[in-house]
Amino acid sequence: MRKQIAAANWKMNLTLQQGEALLDGIISKPHSLKENQQAVFAVPFPYLAMAQAKLAGKQNVFVAAQNCYSKKSGAYTGEVSVEMLQSLGIQYVVLGHSERREYFHESNQLLADKVNICLEFKMLPIFCCGEPLAIREANTQNEYVAKQLEESLYHLSPDQVQQIVIAYEPIWAIGTGKTASSDQAQEMHAFIRSQLAGKYGVAIADSISILYGGSVKAANAVEIFSQPDVDGGLVGGAALLVDEFVAIINALK
């Protein structure tokens, strides 16, 4: 059974104290994670150790970094290596979020390098893909997303690609309050899975979790997550609110 994941992306929000209070609030609420379900908290770098300590021993709960650098170590002032994350016990890294692609010019090729270094250090990438509004309006979103997958992932071996979690995030739905309809989400998730099947075979494609991201909230999570190819969500705004995110965790199938 595929992993079903509720992943919180805090982005560049919250002070340390606010982050602590948010995690305390979430873990104090009743939520049940079945064996195939996970909650993941992608927190800013300075809060990783705090989040690791607070969530230690909680079953099926993981901390993620929001980014990493593509090199092992060295003179890259201001960057954070995968080995550093590994030394903190972090297991997931979000890669290629659309904000990083847009504001920090992360290319498909750079992301391929980041994917490689993550896998070398046994870190699991949550690889984001998704099209901007103009591409959706031109109805060329399939080609656009297929290229992102091809250029950043298709050099991987079948064993390696199974370590990847994919997050489909249509850019026009991120932080805008506009959600893709559950049909639109399912359509793209099924397309991504068919592409993976074409490259790696159906069994491998069926084993890869594909999360939806874009204005997921408590009110729409059940419907979106119930789609057969949607395996949970990557959540921004609603992940900053205790009750919202707990409800999103509880909406996993």
Binding mask 54-83 for ligand PEP (x = CB under 6 A): ------------------------------
Q: C-beta of 115: minimal distance to ligand PEP in Å?
A: 18
Q: Judged by CB under 6 A, does residue 130 bind ligand PEP?
A: no
Known active-site residue 137? no
What would the x/- binding string for ligand PEP be over residues 181 to 220, using CB under 6 A? --------------------------------xxxx----
97 catalytic per annotation: yes
CB atoms inside a 10 Å sphere around CB 74: 9
Nearest partner of 216 among 164, 252, 166, 165, judged by Cα: 252
CA angle 68, 233, 144 (to 5 degrees): 70
Identify the residue among 68, 90, 127, 169 touching ligand PEP (CB under 6 A): 169
104-132 in b/e form (b: 16+ CB < 10 A) is eebebebbbebbbbbbebebbbbbbbbbe
Find the catalytic residue in 106, 131, 169, 244. 169
Reference 156, options 188, 206, 190, 117; nearest CA is 117
**3-state SS assignment for residue 106:** coil
Residue 174 touching ligand PEP (CB under 6 A): yes
User: Is the CB of residue 212 less than 8 Å from the CB of residue 181?
Assistant: no
Give the shortest CB-10-to-ligand PEP separation in angstroms: 9
Say whether residue 19 binds ligand PEP (CB under 6 A): no
Query: Of 89, 175, 198, 228, which lies in the binding site for ligand PEP, with binding defined by CB under 6 A?
Result: 175
Nearest to 98 by CA among 230, 217, 229, 214: 214
Kind plus residue range of the DSSP H or E element containing 207: helix 202-207
Q: How far is the CB of 161 from ligand PEP (least distance, A)?
A: 22
List of residues contacting ligand PEP (CB under 6 A): 9, 11, 97, 169, 174-175, 213-216, 234-238
Active site residues: 97, 169
